[in-house]
Structure 1
Amino acid sequence: MVTKFKNHLAKTNLAKNTVTSYVWTVQYFLNHYGEVNKKNLLAYKGYLVENFKPQTVNLRLQGINKYLEFTKQEKLKVKFVKVQQKNFLENVISDADYKFLKAQLKVDGYDEWYFIVWFMAATGARVSELLHIKAEHIKVGYLDLYSKGGKIRRLYIPKNLRTEAEKWLKNQGLTSGYIFLNRFGQRITTRGIASQLKHFAEKYGMNKEVVYPHSFRHRFAKNFLDRFNDLALLADLMGHESIETTRIYLRRTASEQQKIVDKVVNW
């Protein structure tokens, strides 16, 4: 039945990693709890709640619920746990730190990494999307990405970044194809980017907690709203299904909150 479930998921628009996660979850449940009944499902949920973060718990439960739908046992579906939203953004690189890192990478001749950081912060690209950028996209100024639901999201490359990136590519003799490559001429990996960013954070004495790929996507959103306060447009640019997801960027980071309190509260 699990194999049939896997084949069923493979035909949907779900990402490969999501399919793997759902199948693993169901397999784990069946191996450890055996029979699919309300008592066992609640026991499994209890185990998840005690051992994992709410987001992970809900991801596992989503896999279980998909399986229950597939086996026509919808009545047994398990409720998700409530994810408590923090009233501040965590671990977002500050604009000053972003500019410092970018400047240092340029001064020290790490051109490719200078552009990787700049592209993430100036386009709002997810790190997996960054790897799809080609020299041809720099010329036209955008890249069209297809989301799970078959929707198109356009990733715009701002003019100042385009101009400088074109010069860089010209110097490298790169006129077509992917632009972010490793020393073997292959596309760099998302894991490679994450570990190299940690290395630079250490090298330049920065807080490693805020120097990671998704942090620059957060920075893009924060900077965009600071300069152009249009939440609906930002939701489109970020590729968010719901404007509610984008709303978090209206919140201050914890360090911003601290600065405001230090400045304002003098009684």
Structure 2
Amino acid sequence: MVEFEKYLYERENAGATIRKYLTDLKCFFKFLGEKTEIDKGRLLAYKEWLIEHYTVNSVNSMLAALNQFLTFCGYCELKIRRVKTQKNLFLQEEKELTCQEYKRLVKAARAEGKSQLALCIETIAVTGIRVSELKYFTVEQVKKGRIEVHNKGKYRRIFLTASIRKKLLMFASARKIRSGCIFVTKSGQPKDRSNLWSEMKALKKKAGVSGEKIFPHNLRHLFARVYYQTTQDLTGLADVLGHSSLNVTRIYTSNTGEIYQRQLNRMTILQM
């Protein structure tokens, strides 16, 4: 496992991805039990077992970890195909975070005296960044008015509005943060997905927002929908989000099925 972890690191996988793969592999080894020899039959049996116990998305995620491990071991011919699913381009109403709900989350965080959490939420929502990119928000870069991200051999630039730039610098000044990362934990480590997620979840009662809607990545989806509704520029949005595929960006801009239903109801020209 140590060598596999090193292999993933050298392939420049993110730390969270490496931890996820290692956890998923433990599940595979537990399935194997004492008989550790593997062949196509046992791998397919494992896939069937996963399908019985996990959602399709989880199954495919765990198979991705397994296939990486098989590649590492030199058994590419044993790799397992993912479970095919029909892409759902409709946003689920129960998971759509509205602008009003987002604002209630920010207000709830401020009311709880959690100014850093409130600013984290606002920063993600107005820039559309990934949570993993919060660590690039340093005093030095914010002063420049843009955030330059170098990750996995890729480079992209995040633009800041004048308002969020001012708030970030005021927060850093109040916390006496003169250089380096602005969003840090009490131990001085950069904020990550797990601790931000748990802090956001704790706001659900005070904000009156369903827990299903409260997770950091949903703020990125909210940004994408608002940006597209404002500009109708899908290509520009893909650049802002750092997507290499417009198909991915289309998912981010999906409307709910309810909205599509209202649009269909207005199409009276074909009615007899």
Q: Compute the TM-score of the two structures, normalised by the length of structure 2.
A: 0.82
Task: Tell me the residue number matched to 2:145.
Answer: 141
Which of 38, 52, 55 is residue 53 of structure 1 equivalent to?
55
Q: Which residue of 2 aligns with 1:226?
A: 229
User: Contact 2:136 / 2:148 at 8 angstroms: preserved in 1?
Assistant: no
1:105 Cα deviation from its structure 2 partner: 4.6
Shift of 1:185: 5.3
The aligned residue for residue 67 of structure 2 is: 65
Match among 89, 93, 96 for residue 97 of structure 2? 93
**TM-aligned CA deviation for residue 261 of structure 1:** 6.7
8 Å CA contact 2:124–2:130 kept in 1: the answer is yes
Q: Aligned equivalents of 1:213 and 1:88: distance in 2?
A: 20
Letter in 1 for 2:142: I
**Contact 1:22 1:63 survives alignment (8 Å):** yes
Counterpart Cα distance in 2 of 1:102 and 1:169: 18
Amino acid at match of 1:167: M
Q: Aligned-pair distance for 1:95?
A: 1.4
Q: CA shift at 1:188, angstroms?
A: 4.1
2: distance between equivalents of 1:8 and 1:110? 39
Q: Once the 2 structures are TM-superposed, how far is the Cα of residue 217 of structure 1 from its aligned partner?
A: 0.9
What is the rounded CA distance, in whole Å, between the counterparts of 2:56 and 2:219 in structure 1?
24
Cα 1:53–1:253 shift into 2, 3 Å? same
Check 1:21–1:250 CA distance in 2 against 1; reply closer, same or farther (3 A cut).
closer
Q: Is the 8 A contact 2:204 2:211 kept in 1?
A: yes
Work out which of the residue numbers 237, 241, 250 in structure 2 matches 1:238: 241
Structure 1 residue aligned with 2:10: 11
Shift in Å at residue 219 of structure 1?
0.8
Segment drifting more, 39-48 vs 63-72: 63-72
CA distance in structure 2 between the partners assigned to 1:28 and 1:219 by the alignment: 34
Q: Which amino acid aligns with 1:204?
A: A
- C-alpha offsets along residues 193-226 of structure 1, whole Å, 9 cap, x if unaligned? 2222222221132222222211111111111111
Q: Which residue of the other structure, out of 247, 252, 255, is the alignment partner of 2:250?
A: 247
Alignment partner, residue 193 of structure 1: 196
Query: In 1, distance between residues paired with 2:102 and 2:64?
Result: 36
Would you say the 8 A contact 1:42–1:78 is kept in 2? yes
**Deviation of residue 109 (structure 1)?**
5.4
- 1:104, distance to aligned residue in structure 2 (A): 5.2
Residue 170 in structure 1 maps to residue 169 in structure 2: no
Task: Kindly state the Cα deviation for residue 52 of structure 1 after the two structures are TM-superposed.
Answer: 1.3
Q: Does 1:112 align with 2:111?
A: no
Distance (Å, rounded) in 1 between the aligned partners of 2:53 and 2:73: 27
**1:153 correspondence with 2:153:** no
Structure 2: stretches of 5+ with no match in the other structure: none
Distance, in Å, in 2 between the alignment partners of 1:7 and 1:97 is 42
| Distance in 1, Cα, partners of 2:109 & 2:2 | 48
Check the 8 A contact 1:92/1:216 in 2, yes or no.
no
Change (3 A) 1:250 1:189: closer
CA distance in 2, matches of 1:185, 1:73: 42
| Identity level (%) | 30
User: CA 1:181–1:27 in 2, change beyond 3 Å: closer, same or farther?
Assistant: closer
Q: Counterpart of 2:178 in 1: which secondary structure?
A: coil
**Is 1:102 equivalent to 2:101 in the alignment?**
no
> What runs of 5+ residues in structure 1 fail to find an aligned partner?
none
Could you tell me how far apart the structure 1 residues matched to 2:266 and 2:72 are? 56
Q: In 2, distance between residues paired with 1:12 and 1:132?
A: 21
Tell me the secondary structure at the aligned position of residue 14 of structure 1. Answer: coil
